[in-house]
Amino acid sequence: GCGTGSQSAGSGKMQELSIGLMPDTDSLPFLIAEEKGYFADEGVKVNLKPFKSAMDRDSAMQSGHLDGAVSDMLAAAFAKDGGFDVKVTSSTDGSYKLIAGKAEPAADVKGLRGKDVSVSRNTIIEYVTDEILAKDGLKGDDINKVIIPQIPTRLEMLQNGKLAAATLPEPMASIAIYNGGRLLKSSDDLGINPGVILFTDKATKDKQKEIQAMYRAYNRAVDYLNNAPREEYIDFVIEKAGFPPAAKEALKLPTYHKAALPKEQDVTDCIKWLNDKDLVKETYGYDDLVINLLGE
């Protein structure tokens, strides 16, 4: 009984939603919405399921234990390519930063040519890294990509000078900067935003009402996050989201946006990158991946 049952009760009563979260800043509005009772206010029961790794989250989703998840464009395309029909319903406010180590002489992205830069392979991290490099006229092969999938390990290697630079998600990026790393460039600088919320195709059909209610609560939480003083929620967030304690000082939260569809550019760039790397055969269009449940 994970909320996927389609036995819809009376018109007023809404089904449950199960949402998989990751320990990153994208997930914060959900945590706030739950904590503040916004979901309940909207009359929808949302089960937030925290995961520690994307693999676990995707496995749970693919085995039908989640209706939706905080995820990214690449995962959506991969899932679709792998035969799992998922739909992106909105973008999120994730941020990925290319950070140089404390002792790294390179002043900018160009200076990283031929050096060790740690990423995880075939993920949003590598995508953002490639985009950042492309902006400065470099290609993916111009740097030496060191594959380290575990984020804490990547952070540790960076901090100990074993790497020239690494691309990190929040809140690890803030911590790295706090500890002396230098921000070279971030996804925000490029204006790309590949973080998304996605739902299974089934959920977008059977649970439209619930998803919309969820988004209303989500938007309230965004408002709260943007307006309330940081001290009011930071301890709760750090505890609940599984952030490092150091994030209390270090973490610079982004300005959250109310739920909105991803930009067309974000989607096509992403698919192009996947097609170029031969990771996804199909060239998905915007409408293949994105569904608009917000506007109705």
Partner 1 sequence: MKGISHTLISYLAAAVFLLAIWWGLALLLELPIVPTPDKVFVRLTDVFARDILEHAAYSLWRIAAGLGLAVCIGYPLGVIMGYFRQADRFLSPVVYLTYPIPKIALLPILMLLAGVGELSKILMIFLIIVFQVVVAVRDAIRTLPEERYYPLYSLGASLGQIFRFVILPASLPKFITAIRVAMATAVSVLFFTETFGTQYGMGYYIMDAWLRVNYLEMYAGILVLSVMGLLLFGIIDCFEHVACLWQRK
Contact pattern from residue 69 through residue 88 relative to partner 1, giving x for each residue in contact according to CB under 8 A and a dash for the rest: ------x--xx-xxxx----
The three-class DSSP label of residue 246 is: coil
For residues 243 and 256, which CB has a smaller minimum distance to partner 1 in the complex? Answer: 243
Q: What angle do CA 207, 263, 197 make, to 5 degrees?
A: 35
Provide the minimum distance between the beta carbon of 256 and partner 1 in the complex, in angstroms, as a whole number.
Answer: 22
All residues at 6 or more sequence positions from 46 whose CB lies less than 8 Å from its CB, including other chains: 16, 17, 18, 19, 30, 33, 34, 39, 214, 217
Return the DSSP state at 120. -
Q: Are 257 and 196 in contact (CB under 8 A)?
A: no
* 134, 177, 279, 294: which one binds partner 1 (CB under 8 A): 279
CA 106, 110, 112, 114 torsion-angle sign: negative
* 6, 160, 283, 292: which one binds partner 1 (CB under 8 A): 160
Contact pattern from residue 30 through residue 69 relative to partner 1, giving x for each residue in contact according to CB under 8 A and a dash for the rest: -------------------xxxxxxxx-xxx-xxxx----
Q: Choose one: 8-16, 155-163, 200-208, 210-218; the region binding partner 1 (CB under 8 A).
A: 155-163
Number of residues lying near partner 1 (CB under 8 A): 48
Decide: is 294 part of the binding site for partner 1 (CB under 8 A): no
Decide: is 114 part of the binding site for partner 1 (CB under 8 A): no
Strands (E), 5-115: 16-21, 45-50, 68-72, 86-91, 96-100
Strands (E), 51-139: 68-72, 86-91, 96-100, 116-119
- Using CB under 8 A, list all residues that contact partner 1: 2, 23, 49-56, 58-60, 62-65, 75, 78-79, 81-84, 121-123, 146-153, 155-157, 160, 162, 172, 175, 242-246, 279
